[in-house]
């Protein structure tokens, strides 16, 4: 069996790659793993987003957990961060979230959290996978030793109450449009923002199991931008299917991506002496404008490879409290153990409230350089490191750009694709350089 886990749990086409049989096996191996850690009758909190296949996979995961002698505590449709929060604040030995985040409805995924609310480490995931065959052959509990499925109907209310209590905030007079991506945020996010006093208008907050991420949510920032202008709102908040991301829009319809939100939060914390060690963590995809803005503010930028797990690892290693990605996956370790798009929105609106500045004004903290990303498909990504022709072209571009731009080549972790990212002073210039370099990559790494 190849590795099941990617950078964010297991993900694949539901009922094809991610099957109920696999979910059942994972449930059994999870209990074996937890029992080996000293949990006699482990309890696992399970949440999901509203996509159709979630019910099927939840049932299978519950069956695996209970057949191995663990208890499954189901909390229904909730954001990923809610599962992490509820796990950390209970006696549960682990948590599991069934979601494919921003992916289309045909996909699904499973990610696991430890008792502390942090995502499973690489070692935990490897051990979980290794235990699948062993768990299948392990003795079967009987009678009252079989686990139980226990619903937790108060979980949603507890999570909403927590988010509304993070900051002392009165958003009365603030008009906000919320795009719930027809996903896990659809009910929770509007309730949180209304409880804080905001005037909330909702769009794409009517999940039917099939419409999750369908032309809406954080991967379609133009949708929230248009809605803010249409309703004359002060700002817009757009989440993804499992609500671990946030993309915002200003009153004038300008997109505020994860880089800009992270810059706003970092500046605000730094000015109040609350940014630990005066540093923030981000990834190689973060815009050069972010780095320049942080440098001007005296804030250190620590860079990791792409993936929130790597951002989190760097934060924990250095004892930092703020990090995130351009995609809008932001982590605030003062209040959460994983990315929480609703929490991020609350913190962003708190800055608006405390400073009295509009989001348009706050977003001027950084000036983004035009950034172009080209995916070069059907290439042998494993040969990238040794492709002298490619790296010679990269050096020539870097020499020409000087300090006014940036070149990044990154092989995909799952596809025969190499990603070419160019930042340059002008968009046309960035596009031309990216297209030219993509041609070199395609020729040098062509699959024979």
pLDDT band at 414 (very low <50, low <70, confident <90, very high): low
Residues 183, 47: Cα–Cα separation, whole Å: 13
Q: Which of 29, 101, 187, 238 is catalytic?
A: 101
pTM: 0.92
The pLDDT value given to residue 159: 97
Q: What is the dihedral of CA 118, 240, 184, 81, to 10 degrees?
A: 20
Neighbours of 14 (CB within 10 A): 24
**pLDDT digit string (tens) for 47-72?**
999 999 999 999 999 999 999 999 99
**pLDDT digit string (tens) for 116-155?**
999 999 899 999 999 998 888 888 999 999 999 999 999 9
Examine the residue annotation and report whether 101 is marked as an active-site residue of this protein.
Answer: yes
Q: Over range 176-181, report the average pLDDT.
A: 98
> CB neighbours of 201 closer than 8 A, spacing ≥ 6?
175, 176, 177, 178, 227, 231, 233
Indicate the burial class of 412 (C-beta count within 10 angstroms; 0-12, 13-18, 19 or more). middle
pLDDT band at 448 (very low <50, low <70, confident <90, very high): confident
The pLDDT value given to residue 267: 98
**pLDDT digit string (tens) for 25-51?**
999 999 999 999 999 999 999 999 999
- The half-sphere exposure of 86 on its side-chain side, counting CA atoms within 13 A, is 29
* pLDDT surpassing 80 at residue 335: yes
Closest CA to 124 of 9, 2, 242: 9
The pLDDT value given to residue 1: 43
For residue 325, give Cα distances in angstroms to 126, 229, 305, 322, 350: 25, 26, 10, 11, 20
**pLDDT digit string (tens) for 274-321?**
999 999 999 999 999 999 999 999 999 999 988 888 999 999 999 999
In eight-state DSSP terms, residue 414 is S
Closest CA to 167 of 250, 237, 271, 265: 265
Residues in the chain: 448
Residues 186, 156: Cα–Cα separation, whole Å: 12
The pLDDT value given to residue 139: 84
**pLDDT digit string (tens) for 189-215?**
999 999 999 999 999 999 999 999 999
Closest CA to 394 of 442, 447, 446, 438: 438
* pLDDT surpassing 80 at residue 413: no
Closest CA to 431 of 389, 367, 369, 364: 369
The pLDDT value given to residue 412: 79
């Amino acid at each position: 069996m190849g590795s099941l886990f990617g950078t964010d749990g297991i993900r694949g086409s539901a009922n094809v790659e991610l099957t109920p049989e696999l979910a059942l096996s994972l449930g059994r191996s999870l209990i074996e793993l937890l029992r080996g850690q000293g949990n006699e009758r482990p309890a696992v909190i399970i949440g999901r987003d509203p996509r159709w296949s979630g019910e099927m996979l939840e049932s299978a995961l519950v069956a695996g957990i209970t057949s191995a002698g663990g208890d499954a505590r189901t909390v229904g449709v909730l954001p990923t961060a809610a599962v992490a929060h509820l796990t950390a604040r209970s006696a549960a030995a682990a948590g599991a979230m069934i979601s494919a985040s921003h992916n289309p409805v045909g996909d699904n995924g499973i990610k696991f959290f430890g008792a502390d609310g942090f995502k499973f480490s690489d070692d935990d995931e490897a051990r979980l996978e290794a235990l699948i065959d062993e768990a299948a052959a392990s003795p079967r509990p009987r009678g009252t030793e079989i686990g139980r499925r226990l619903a937790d109907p108060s979980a949603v209310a507890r999570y909403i109450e927590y988010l509304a209590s993070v900051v002392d905030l009165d958003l009365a007079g603030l008009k906000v449009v919320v795009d719930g991506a027809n996903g896990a945020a659809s009910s929770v996010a509007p309730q949180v923002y209304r409880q804080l006093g905001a005037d909330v208008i909702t769009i794409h907050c009517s999940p039917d199991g099939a419409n999750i991420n369908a032309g809406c949510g954080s991967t379609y920032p133009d949708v929230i931008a248009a809605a803010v202008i249409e309703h004359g709102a002060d700002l817009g908040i757009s989440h993804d299917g499992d609500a671990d991301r946030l993309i915002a829009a200003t009153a004038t319809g300008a997109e505020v991506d994860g880089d800009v939100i992270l810059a706003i939060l970092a500046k605000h914390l730094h000015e109040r002496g609350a940014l630990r060690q005066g540093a923030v963590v981000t990834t190689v995809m973060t815009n050069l404008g972010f780095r320049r803005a942080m440098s001007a503010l005296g804030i250190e930028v620590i860079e990791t490879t792409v993936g929130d797990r790597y951002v989190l690892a760097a934060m924990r290693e250095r004892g930092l409290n703020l990090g995130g990605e351009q995609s809008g996956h932001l982590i605030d370790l003062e209040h959460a153990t994983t990315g929480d798009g609703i929490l991020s929105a609350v913190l962003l609106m708190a800055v608006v409230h405390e400073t009295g500045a509009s989001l348009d004004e706050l977003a001027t903290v950084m000036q983004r350089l035009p950034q172009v990303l080209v995916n070069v498909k059907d290439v042998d990504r494993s040969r990238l490191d040794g492709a002298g022709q490619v790296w010679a072209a990269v050096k020539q571009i870097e020499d020409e750009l000087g300090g006014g731009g940036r070149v990044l080549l990154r092989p995909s972790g799952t596809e025969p694709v190499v990603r070419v990212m160019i930042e340059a002073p002008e968009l046309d210039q960035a596009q031309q350089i990216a297209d030219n370099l993509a041609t070199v990559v395609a020729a040098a790494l062509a699959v024979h």
